[in-house]
Amino acid sequence: MRIVVLLSAGRHRVSGRPSLPGVEAQAIALAAALADAGEAGTGGERPPSAMSFSGLHAGPGDEGIADAFGHGLEAIDRLEIAEGADPLPALARHLKEHPAELILAGRRAEGGEDTGLLPYALAEALGLPILSDVTAIAAADEPGALRFDQALPKGAKRRVTLRLPAIVTVHPLAPAPAPFVFARARRGVVRTLSGLPAPVAASPFAEKPHRARPKLMRSAAAGSGAADEAGDKLHVHPDPQEAARLILDHIERIGIRRYS
């Protein structure tokens, strides 16, 4: 099985220096765990279809990308494209010529446009299914499929069994990346392949320095549910049974929990 981890040229949030985004390091850890499990699953013998996983990047340089070696990646291919050009055509052509069963990407890049759109556009271009916000990957009972855990709000999970090939984006709640090994990062060599010339992506939006905009204050203001509850909100010395009934009815009415 071939696994490809998509790597983007990130910038560190604080220092602004080239670095590998955290979720992509986590994606590498997920791919490594999957490859290990695949080899172990065949009882030590060489599996018929050997697991392989590598990184893929489309961009003008490998600054920051090479950090991925330090997190345990063994091979990285870089598709040479011009500065500012759209990486999608180059990535799509490469992945069509060298198909992968599983393509892992970050949820959002850090330091580019950060829209998180690239995996979706790639899925559309390759005609593959896409699954977002994955935190764990495990083998499934069906052959040629894997079981993914998707992070949902409030600690919930969605467990999806998906037939491969597929594109998957990784959520920051996935297991922590392997510790960074400087010597490995130094030793690794990025293989450069020719990309596909694409026009410099013209965005319909103007770009300017960021201006921080305050968020709205969270309060139980008028219009939200709390202010609508008219009357009947204060009960002085009710019977405890009555008080319990009032509380449970209130919780069920506002739809937080159901107890029956």
Ligand X SMILES: Nc1ncnc2c1ncn2[C@@H]1O[C@H](COP(=O)(O)O)[C@@H](O)[C@H]1O
Q: Given the rule CB under 6 A, which residues bind ligand X? A: 6-8, 21, 24, 56-59, 87, 91, 105-106, 108-109, 112-119
Helix (H/G/I), strand (E/B), else coil: 192? strand
Cβ-based neighbours of 227, under 8 Å, separated by 6 or more: 220, 221
Site for another protein in 2-21 (CB under 8 A): 10-13, 16
**Measured from the CB of residue 178, what is the shortest distance to ligand X in angstroms?**
17
Task: Report residue 197 as tokens.
Answer: 């010339």
Does residue 83 belong to the site contacting another protein (CB under 8 A)? no
Q: Which is nearer to another protein, 17 or 191 (CB)?
A: 17
Count of Cβ atoms closer than 10 Å to residue 222 Cβ: 8
Which letter does DSSP use for residue 85 in this model?
B
Minimum Å distance from CB 191 to another protein? Answer: 27
Site for another protein, residues 104 to 133, rule: CB under 8 A:
110-117, 120-121, 123-124, 129-130, 132-133
Residue 241, H or E segment: helix 240-253
Least distance to ligand X from the beta carbon of 251, Å? Answer: 40
Kindly state the smallest distance separating residue 103's Cβ from ligand X, in Å: 9
As measured in angstroms, the least distance from the Cβ of 86 to another protein is 12
Per-residue contact track with another protein, 196 to 235, x per CB under 8 A? -------xxxxxxxxx-x-xxxxxxxxxxxxxxx---xxx
Counting Cβ atoms within 10 Å, is residue 131 exposed (0-12), middle (13-18) or buried (19+)? middle
Of 48, 64, 61, 51, the C-alpha closest to 4 is 51
Taking the complex as a whole, the smallest distance from the CB of residue 42 to another protein amounts, in Å, to 23
Q: Which single residue brings its beta carbon nearest to ligand X? A: 106
Give the total of residues touching another protein (CB under 8 A). 86
Looking at the Cβ atoms of 183 and 236, the one nearer to another protein is: 236
Ramachandran region, residue 254 (left: φ > 0; alpha: ψ -120 to 50; beta: rest): alpha
Identified binder of another protein from the candidate list 50, 152, 176, 200, rule CB under 8 A: 152
For the range 180-183, what are the long-range contacts, defined as Cβ-Cβ under 8 Å and sequence gap of 24 or more?
Answer: 180/67, 180/70, 180/71, 181/70, 181/72, 182/70
Q: Which does 3 bind (CB under 5 to 8 A by kind): another protein, ligand X, none?
A: none
Closest to another protein by CB, 75 or 92 = 92
Which distant-in-sequence residues (6+ apart) come within 8 Å of 147 by Cβ?
137, 138, 139, 140, 159, 160, 161, 162
15 binds, among another protein, ligand X, none (CB under 5 to 8 A by kind): none
CB of 150 to another protein, least distance (A): 8
Contact (Cβ atoms closer than 8 angstroms) between residue 66 and residue 72? no
Contact of residue 132 among another protein, ligand X, none (CB under 5-8 Å per partner type):
another protein
